Structure 1
Amino acid sequence: MMLTPLKPEVLKVDDLSHEARRFRTIVWSFQRNLDLLFKGTGLSAKVDHAALAEAFARWRQKFDQSKHLADVNRNDYVIYAAGLMLRELIVAAPLKASKEEELPSLPGGIDHPLARWPEGYAYTSFCLSVAAAILKELGDDEPMPAEVADDPGFWSSFRENTHEDPETAVGFFDLVCGREPNWAAPGVLWLRKAFADQGKLPRNKA
């Protein structure tokens, strides 16, 4: 199953890099991603918009605190910001997926990433789709889902680790994007490899 079905649709949004900072855009695109992702799977999804608003508010606060560093490495910053959004979605848990029937597109007994953790798969799909679309809009290299995203076991590990420590969501998102996480501090921007390689670390890290 394609992990980024939303990307072609959000690419139609004018000035997506700024529109993605608006809650109304998040609500529309989040729901649309669910419609596309769960179509024909036998899964239905219910969205708690209050929890989604909570996730967005926390993400926006963290984004505003770090956006002054975006120009150090614009490409990696977009990936980082998407990873932060993923973290907040996992914490707020605005999505509840339920099975209407057995997944009709999957032969009996075959494992699939979506079946392991529908909510986490949907959150990741949303964040990756938006990040890829923003980078394409900016004329930059887009992240492509790494092979690890096709491994059902990866999603089980993702779920277990973020349940214990939500901060690891940023690192798992890096893995999905084919990047090397900093597991010691996955949510710390200036400790990311792409930023350290620039040789422009901020003096004040408080």
Structure 2
Amino acid sequence: MTLPASTDSDQPIRKSAQRLRWFVQAFEEQAEQTSRETGTRYTVDHGRLAAVFAQWLKDFQAQKPERDEDKPAYVGFAAGLMLRTLIEMKPVSVAALPGGADTTNPAYFWPEGYLYVVFCLNVRGLVLEGDYHGEQHTSALLNETRTWWSFKENVADDPSLAMAFLDLFAGDEPQWSVPHLFRTGRIRGLADRFYKQETLKAVD
């Protein structure tokens, strides 16, 4: 994914991403790239996409940490907030799948969700690398339809679980318990294990 140019070449990527024009351009470029790679044709509702950004920015600002040591972890959290908002507001629809599309492939099993996840992972990884000299190592689960089935079913009931699934796809430890609350350190206790067991729909 090639990120849109910033108006200020010295501006961190995370700052550029907080601008509507940058966000819309980045998302459109991701949709075009994913369409070329998969053959799926997408339709983007720009009114809804702008609403996605406005809601995401509000949620992003609400929990933005002040301590510098918390900011790298907040990158993943912010990407999760974006995925949740995209899933809730549905700015994308599928115009057409390619002939003979294999629906056991995540890209065709849930094409809209696949686009949302790829976009959020790409921006997440580029911000970590460009602004914090970090690396993102995606999980093999990103390509498993069984995991995508669980993902789609669970976020239909609770869109906030998209944040935990994005961590899972990104190769990080998911925060299944109240994933929409930012926590430093991610301490997992009995409540977290209970939440995971009782709430997530398992794949048989």
CA contact (8 A) 2:4 2:22 kept: no
CA contact (8 A) 2:4 2:25 kept: no
Root-mean-square deviation over aligned CA pairs: 2.1
Amino acid aligned to 1:150 = N
TM-score under structure 2 length normalisation? 0.82
Q: CA deviation at 1:12?
A: 5.8
- 2:36 and 2:98 mapped to 1: Cα distance? 12
Residue of structure 2 in register with 1:16 after alignment: 13
Deviations 1:142-164 (CA, angstroms, capped at 9, x unpaired): 22211110101211211111111
TM-score under structure 1 length normalisation? 0.81
80, 84, 97: which one aligns with 2:81 = 84
Note if 1:149 corresponds to 2:146.
no
Greater RCO (Cα-Cα under 8 Å, separation 6 or more)? 1
Q: 1:180 to 1:139 in 2, by over 3 A?
A: closer
Residue of structure 2 in register with 1:162 after alignment: 155
Equivalent residues in 2 for 1:62-141, closer than 5 Å? 62-69=59-66, 71-103=68-100, 111-141=104-134
Amino acid aligned to 1:155 = W
User: 4+ runs of 1 displaced by more than 6 Å?
Assistant: none
Residue of structure 2 in register with 1:189 after alignment: 182
Q: 1:12 to 1:143 in 2, by over 3 A?
A: farther
CA contact (8 A) 2:175 2:186 kept: no
Q: 1:55 to 1:11 in 2, by over 3 A?
A: closer
CA contact (8 A) 1:113 1:153 kept: no
Q: What fraction of aligned residue pairs are identical, expressed as a percent?
A: 32
Q: Which moved more, 1:10-19 or 1:164-173?
A: 10-19
- 1:126 and 1:70 mapped to 2: Cα distance? 27
28, 41, 47: which one aligns with 1:44 = 41
- 1:100 and 1:63 mapped to 2: Cα distance? 33
Q: Which runs of 5+ in 1 are unaligned?
A: 1-5, 198-206
- 1:25 and 1:85 mapped to 2: Cα distance? 14
